[in-house]
Structure 1
Amino acid sequence: MNKVYVLDDEKVLANSLKIALEDFGFSSFAFYTADDFFKKVNTEEPDIAIIDLRLPDMNGLDVLKTIKNISKDIEVIMITAHGDIHSAIAAIKAGAYDFINKPFELDEMLHIVEKCIAEKKSKQEIEHLRNKTYKSSDIGKLIGISPKLNELLKTVEIVAKHDSTVLITGESGVGKELIAKALHNESLRKNEKFIDINCSSMPEHLLETELFGYEKGAFTDAKNRKPGLIELADKGTLFLDEIGDMPLQLQPKLLRFLENKTFRRIGGKEEIKVDVRIVAATNRDLKQLVEEGKFRSDFYYRLNIIPIEVPPLRERISDIPLLADYFLKNYSKKFGKNLAFDDGVVEIFKHYSWPGNVRELKNIIERLALLATENFISLDMLPSEMKEIKGETLNNLEYKLLLYEKQLIEGALVEADGVKQKAAEILGISRHSLKRRLAKINEILGN
């Protein structure tokens, strides 16, 4: 049962909140002084603390800071006097989850508490998944909880047990090589070699010799026989990365090998038979290359027996917090730091389009971790293009306040059964102001 502590010297309000929270299913305690509050906190930590800003024996902001020193896992909701926006801003900066102005409805507070608990649960699930040991070392690096990733991993698990040729497609930076390694490590070939070659990294004649090898005397510098990567990968897996860049003239020779698993070294006459599984990958549209005459259609269809498409990061939004946390932990360890993300940073990550996908996320976090001079990554440290959400450049506090305003409006609309005039009256503003503010918020943050 989640524990919520209430600290307010207004005994009627504190006890009313306690009773409402208990009716809602929480374990709750009411305190009227900071001294009594901390006696309890030091023996039994709550999940959430609801703190009045003005207390008889201690300033509410000091209580907040002390709580955060005790445990960063305790979320704090501040109660402020109406119009005391400067104190609310100071509370957010000090790490408060949210703030609510007096007077307020109990349902409004319960909504905030429920939302906070849900977010805490989500963070705990992410932490659990981040620390989970996956069945395979490389498939574990494809971290996430999104439906698209789960579907991808299920496909990998099924396909890995068979020897059919696989074509992995997806944008640059999505993790195609990790999928290829996962296919190998989940297969019956896992104890044999995994050999990879980038088809775009060398000219045609060098790529041919690397793949097929050569006999002594095959050309001027061929002083000894050299086995190729196909031969060296016997019993294992050969990963052909950037297959879309393979020279057109070399494709028939590789097609012949795919069809009968035999080949000849350059300059050789002997047919060599090997048992190799081929996994290929590309970020290019092979169908279009076929139409343009830059890729053989028979080679394409022979490669595309089992297609696996890796989704871009922008289609895996729920995976972004987990991936960001994973990379930050790794780079914190690498650079000898103890880093955490400041409020709002991961939310900005979730709104960014990530054209470079997981690789871009990894590189940005490496840079931020290296340059960090304090123990947190703040929104102000992010690249300017990342802070521009639909044309608006926001700092950490502006982003938090905008989210809070959106929550207030949405809460009022729920209470008013969607009637904007009634919601505006609840908020104490005009209907025109409500529509204008909601349109502005949705323009910046998205619906």
Structure 2
Amino acid sequence: MKKPKILIVDDDRNLLELMVMRLEDAGFEPRGFDMEDGVVEEVSKNSYDLAILDLQLLKTDGITLMEEIHRVDPELPVVILTAHGSIESAVNAMQRGAYTYLTKPFDSRELIVQIERALKSRTLEEEVKRLKEMVRERYDFKNIIGKSQAMTILLQQMAQIATVDSSIFISGESGTGKELVARAIHMASSRKEKPFVEVNCAAIPENLFESELFGYEKGAFTGAVKKTRGYLAQADGGTLFLDEIGDMPLSVQAKLLRVLQEKRFQPLGSEQPVEVDFRLISATNKDLIHEVREGRFREDLFYRIHVIPLKIPPLRDRKDDIPLLVEHFICKFNEKMQKGVKKIAPRAMKKLLAHDWPGNVRELENVMEYAMAMCQGNTITDDLIIISRLPGVGILRPLKEERDAFERDYLTRLLRHTGGNVSKASEIAGKYRADFYSLLKKHNINPS
């Protein structure tokens, strides 16, 4: 394991030699200077993990030297040593960029503890920086694949709206990449350093929706054993992405509308309003205008979220992009699977271009993942392109819609079988009569 390199500058030669010896014993690689001459040049030529600087030097002070070093290596952590341990000098040093300070005389163990903390902090900062860069690269506009006219227009719209703070409404079928578009807009906005909070409205049970969104105080309800921040508070300063907003219960829609109007909310069990500032991006694969007409979505909320509409085209309407997407997935799965696939055979590509892709880009990605996993050579052949065709199914619907459709069909057939006898039907279904009536009311089914 590489030893951390420590730069030490102190005009007290006895203390300097002692620190070098102690740090060598502790497993570091220290280099000492008893004057400031040549220190900045040394940092510019060699990489160090941390610097220890005396506050009072012969020609300058440690804080000035620190600032000169930071012009060469802005990320280098600095520990300031001072025999003048006033609060004022310590605060000044940390305000101007020092990690921490130590007052002479100090214990060697305390110095080592501070060095280890500073190095750990730097490692964490570098990891966070690396992860942020990975996120930026992944959700950069250039990673939204497509050169078709439809995608060119979409990307131009995204670039325009990323810099403004208005609410965005993304519509598109399942699998078209609504989340990817939302994240790319966030990463290109002025809020990119703040949280991107994604909420899948279709995945939250109705009885939990309010507590998940608004958060709650300890004791607000049975099971609320500690104070919990909701999605709204988590998104403060950043972007709130409400995916499948068409599945949000009407009771919650009214409360969300109020938050958007007043920029504040009250967690469950709290009497204190919480100010909140976020950019709203919402998405759905439903026809919200139809949902408004059917009374399942509030008209006033629709207009509040539908400020800047973006429509993502389905893959069947931009088949010119399929070769680019295939190339992208070959690169992606080569890296993931440690393979060396170089191309796709013409007949295999023809097979992909002939399909209508009801599952859109997500379906294409799944097909390509299978083909890459099974490919033995450097070319994907047509026999590796396995496209599942579900009989009688066009565009795949969300699970909630499929479940509702099944329930409606099941109840209708059950009542037909029992001749409209609710008692007999509820017994076959394994439901109490009251619960069975609730299901009939939910689906607007008349037993007769």
One-letter code aligned to 2:383:
D
Deviation, 1:381, is: 2.2
Please tell me whether residue 312 in structure 1 is matched to residue 314 in structure 2: yes
CA separation of 1:229 and 1:247: change in aligned 2, threshold 3 A: same
Deviation, 1:385, is: 6.4
Match of 1:363 among 347, 362, 366: 366
One-letter code aligned to 2:356:
S
- TM-score of the pair, normalised by structure 2: 0.55
Match of 1:354 in 2: 357
Deviation string 1:152-177 (CA, Å, 9 cap, x unpaired) is 01111111111111110000000000
Partners of 1:158 and 1:260 in 2: CA distance: 27
Partners of 1:384 and 1:299 in 2: CA distance: 40
Partners of 1:310 and 1:161 in 2: CA distance: 19
Deviation string 1:88-126 (CA, Å, 9 cap, x unpaired) is xxxxxxxxxxxxxxxxxxxxxxxxxxxxxxxxxxxxxxx
Identity rate, percent: 44
Task: Give 5+ residue unaligned stretches, structure 1.
Answer: 1-133, 387-447
Deviation, 1:352, is: 1.4
Partners of 2:367 and 2:340 in 1: CA distance: 17
Match of 1:341 among 341, 344, 348: 344
Contact 2:139 2:183 in 1 (8 A): no
One-letter code aligned to 1:297:
E
Secondary structure of the 1:145 match is coil
Which region of structure 1 is more displaced relative to structure 2, 264-273 or 165-174? 264-273
Please tell me whether residue 266 in structure 1 is matched to residue 268 in structure 2: yes
Deviation, 1:224, is: 2.2
Match of 1:251 in 2: 253
Secondary structure of the 2:220 match is coil
Match of 2:165 in 1: 163
Match of 1:293 among 295, 301, 312: 295
One-letter code aligned to 2:365:
K
Secondary structure of the 1:344 match is helix
Match of 2:334 in 1: 332
Match of 2:384 in 1: 381
Secondary structure of the 2:221 match is coil
Partners of 2:325 and 2:384 in 1: CA distance: 19
Partners of 1:300 and 1:206 in 2: CA distance: 22
Secondary structure of the 2:267 match is coil
Deviation string 1:236-264 (CA, Å, 9 cap, x unpaired) is 00111110111111110001011121111
Match of 2:141 among 131, 139, 142: 139
Deviation string 1:11-50 (CA, Å, 9 cap, x unpaired) is xxxxxxxxxxxxxxxxxxxxxxxxxxxxxxxxxxxxxxxx
Task: Give 5+ residue unaligned stretches, structure 2.
Answer: 1-135, 390-448
Partners of 1:192 and 1:297 in 2: CA distance: 30
Alignment: residue pair count: 253
Deviation, 1:273, is: 1.0
Match of 2:155 in 1: 153
Contact 1:327 1:365 in 2 (8 A): yes
One-letter code aligned to 1:196:
E
Contact 2:236 2:278 in 1 (8 A): yes
Spell out the pairing of 1:5-404 with structure 2 (5 A cutoff). 137-339=139-341, 340-383=343-386
Deviation, 1:344, is: 2.3
Secondary structure of the 1:239 match is strand
Deviation, 1:209, is: 1.1
Contact 2:240 2:279 in 1 (8 A): yes
One-letter code aligned to 2:255:
K
Deviation, 1:383, is: 2.4
Deviation string 1:168-222 (CA, Å, 9 cap, x unpaired) is 0000000000110011011100111111010011212322111100112211222
Partners of 1:362 and 1:326 in 2: CA distance: 10
Partners of 1:135 and 1:365 in 2: CA distance: 22
Secondary structure of the 2:202 match is coil
Partners of 1:346 and 1:314 in 2: CA distance: 15
One-letter code aligned to 2:169:
L
Partners of 1:206 and 1:331 in 2: CA distance: 38
CA separation of 1:384 and 1:334: change in aligned 2, threshold 3 A: closer
Runs (4+) of structure 1 moved beyond 4 Å? Answer: none
CA separation of 1:215 and 1:295: change in aligned 2, threshold 3 A: same
Secondary structure of the 1:144 match is coil
Partners of 2:388 and 2:240 in 1: CA distance: 39
Deviation, 1:300, is: 1.0
Contact 2:214 2:266 in 1 (8 A): yes
One-letter code aligned to 2:292:
V
